[in-house]
Structure formats: C-alpha cells, structure tokens
Amino acid sequence: MDKLSSTTRFESVHYGIVNQMNFIWQQARVPLIVPVLKLLVVLCLTMSVMLFVERVYMGIVIVFLKLFGHKPEKHYKWEALKDDDIELGNSAFPMVLVQIPMYNEKEVYQLSIGAACGLSWPSDRIIIQVLDDSTDPIIKNMVEIECERWRRKGINIKYEIRENRNGYKAGALKEGMKHSYVKLCDYVAIFDADFQPESNFLYRTIPFLDQNPQVGLVQARWQFVNADECLMTRMQEMSLDYHFLVEQEVGSITHAFFGFNGTAGVWRISALNEAGGWKDRTTVEDMDLAVRASLKGWKFVYLSDLKVKSELPSTFKAYRYQQHRWSCGPANLFRKMAMEIIRNKKVTMLKKFYVIYSFFFVRKIIAHVVTFTFYCVILPATVLVPEVEVPKWGAVYIPCIITLLNAVGTPRSFHLVILWILFENVMSMHRTKATLIGLFEAGRVNEWVVTEKLGDALKIKSGGKAARKPRITIDGRIHFLELGVGAYLFLCGCYDLAFGKNQCYIYLFLQSIAFFVVGVGYVGIYVPRS
C-alpha cells in the first residue's frame, strides 16, 4: 500500500512538472519565441539570397569565360623567355628567389626541396631558400643534410634558420627576405612544404610579371595528390575545386584581384615591399598581403591551367585546425582592414565594393554563418514552433541551386553531393565559431597550428592502403559539440515525424547522423603509430 501511494505521488509530481513546463512553453511561445524566430528566419533568408546572388553572378561570369575562351595571355603580354641572345646570355632572365617555409615536415621535406631544385631556370639566376622553423633537432638535421646534398649537385640553395618562431610562417618569410642575396632578386616564388611544382613553373609564370609592370602576383591552381585517400578528402576536393575554378577565376578576370593562397604563387618583390611586406597580425598573412598590395594598385593574374601538386589534410584533427585558421583569419582581417579599404583612393569604388562585400562579407562571413544557423539551428527550430513557416524557395530551391553551382567544379564527385552537403553543414559549425572569434578577436584568434602532412608515410605504415578507423576511444576522438547538435537535430526530427507538418524529418535525421558520425571521430583516416 505504501509503495503504491509513493508511486502515485511520484507520478502526480512528475505529471505536475510536465504540465507546468508545458504551460510555461505555451505562454512564452507566442509572445516571445515566435517573434524572435520569425526575425531570425527573415535574417537567414536575407543572407541566403545574398549568397545565392553571389553564386549565380559568379556562375554567369564563368559561363561567359568558357564560351569566349578567356585566357590570361589574351589580356596580358606574354612571350616565352629565351636564352638565345649571345651578348646577354643568362642575364636576359630575371633573378628568382624560391622560398620553402617548413616546420617539422619530416614526411614531405624531400619532395618539396627536390621539386624546387628541379625547376627549369638558368642555375645562376635562381636561389632556393629553405626556411626551416623546425623544433625537432633530428628533423632539422635531416633537412640541412638534404639541402647540402643538392648544394653538392650545383644548386644554389640556402638553408636558413632563426632563433624563434615569432610570427610563424609570416615571420619566417619576412626574416627570409632580409638576407643580402635577396636584394639581387626580382621575383619570389613561394611553395609550402607539401607542394611540388612542375619543372616549367617559372617559365609559365615569370613572363606575366616580366612583361607587365602592373602585375604584382601570379597564382597557380592547386592539384591534390591524395584526393582519393578517403571520403573526407573527396569532400575537400569538391569545396576547393569550386574555389580555384570559380572564385579565383572570377576575381582575376573581373577585378584583377583575388586572395593569394599562400603558396604556388610568384610575387614581384617590389610589389611585396610596397605593400608593407609580410605581417603576422592575422593567421591569413597571405590574404593580408594580397589585400594591401591590391590597395596599392597592383594587379593579380590567376592561371587555372597551371597546376601544382599538393596534399589535403586527411585526418579530421588536421582538417579542423586548418578550417579554424582559414575561417578565423579572414574575418579578423576584415575587421582590421574594412575602414582602410573604404578610405583608399588608389582603387575604384567598384573594386572596393567587390573586396568588402563579395570577397569578405558574403564569402568569408555570410557563407559560414548562414549555413550553420539556418540549416542546423533555425530551420529545425521551426519544426517545434509551427507558427513560424519557412518559404519553400528559401528552404529548398535556393540551397539546391547553390549546391549544384558548387558541385559543377568536380563532376567526378557529383554522385557524392548529398554527403558533401551533410559534411559541409557539420563543418559550418566550426567555421561559424571561428568566424565569430575572428570578428570579435576572442581567445583563439591568433591560434596557429601547422597542418599535418603525411606524404607517403601513411602508405608505408599501412602497407599501401589507407587504414580504417580503429575502435572508438575517448582520447580526443569524441567531439561533444557535434554530438550535442546531432542530438538536437534528432529530437527535432522525431517531433516532426510524430506531430509536425513540415516533413523535414528526413533531412533532420540524415543531418543528425552526419553530426553523430563526426562526433564519434569516424571521419578521415587513422594513422598507425607504429
């Protein structure tokens, strides 16, 4: 009898609490939650339209470029450099500095140094500069020995180190430009440690600089040697192909401006110096330099048909750090340079509008924020609040068109477009967080973690095959933010399935699964430790 009465009392209390919570929810929903959610929907739809217009505009420009066969050689002077002048000899060729910044690059240092030393150019008109910030003395010694090996082969290669890592990559590049022999050089080509240029790279790029005094930068396209390593690298390839085939191309042809990618490019040293040289005030020193040089009136040329081999991060940890840097840095740079761009008098109003609105605001801020807040927070919330409706054009048509425009850059992966959408939405959470950190200069704003490169190490350790993920353990592979968002989406999906009229549950369940998969670390590859 006592047990029955206590059970009854418990059920009564529990029922009362549920009723009270339901009453509070009903009372707060209409006067408070509904207006706020409606406002957020309007803001998200506005941002979606801005992103949609930007994507369509770039798509139209690319179509015209393809129809009319645009090539940089048609807009700028370009003649192959020849050494058939007996009197001038090799002096007809400009002096070129090749910089290779590296930091504990045990797996790839030989590849990058070998590719740079294999560049076709008169041997007395090129200097290879290896900027080694390695903290591991064993790796440092290995890199120095490799440089000495090439020096004995007759290559003019310099091995440079410094006492500290102040400024990270920007600091290393800045320090490298201070050496006396750099004053002899006209141009500087930059390759990160995992980049392998073809031997004709300088013959393809230098003429644009040598024969067009207004050109300050020539940028080549990245080609990914490990795109097929795992599903995550395939997803990255889709995103980056759009960047290189569309965004960079459009910026180059319409405004002669785009963001320098930090590698696989050649700078006119005088343009670099006039812009103020390398600065380490953000984690995107390459973009910072490009914007400052553009404001000085320098033009940039992008060569989409010149590809340089490189490596995509294939572990999720490395990819997250890279995306944090790539999202936080541009937002922070926008904060620092917006007024400087507006006040600039050397460039046209159209170019200033392009840099501020299209390049920074829409692509570097809006694109990240709207993807996460709208599709992973606001849209699921409308399932719980049926008074708020999202028009079909905003919830379905616009994102579908944007997705298709993004996917055309990598036709071989078109069948993966659904997985790509789900993965990009998961990553948008980290990008949004990093963007806000950059805008408000919060804690991790200057965090710099060098992206891990594996080279051939993975194939050697795993017998030629990418290893599968091991059993999940709580050693850094559990990501609670992803699991939390996944749970939220799953609950919204269950509610929509049981009570809702939106029929969003299919999307919500799929997206929640994507968050759960990433949340338990089952993404990317696993690198064996032995």
286 given a catalytic annotation: yes
Cα–Cα distance, 187 to 164 (Å, whole number):
26
Largest CA distance in the chain: 114
Cα–Cα distance, 288 to 186 (Å, whole number):
21
Among residues 20, 135, 122, 132, the alpha carbon closest in space to that of 81 is found at 122
Could you give the C-alpha distances from 196 to 190, 225, 264, 296, 376, in angstroms and in order?
11, 10, 9, 31, 39
Q: Is the distance from CB of 316 to CB of 451 less than 8 angstroms?
A: no
Assigned token pair, 79? 């003649």
Q: Is the distance from CB of 250 to CB of 62 less than 8 angstroms?
A: yes
Strands (E) in 376-499, as ranges, are none
Give 17's contacts (C-beta < 8 A, 6+ positions apart): none
Handedness of CA 515, 519, 520, 523 (dihedral sign): positive
SS (H, E, C) 15-67: HHHHHHHHHHHHHHHHHHHHHHHHHHHHHHHHHHHHHHHHHHHHHHHHHHHHH
Residue of 133, 192, 241, 288 with catalytic role: 133
Q: Is the distance from CB of 106 to CB of 67 less than 8 angstroms?
A: no
Residue of 132, 210, 241, 286 with catalytic role: 286
Active-site amino acid positions? 133, 286
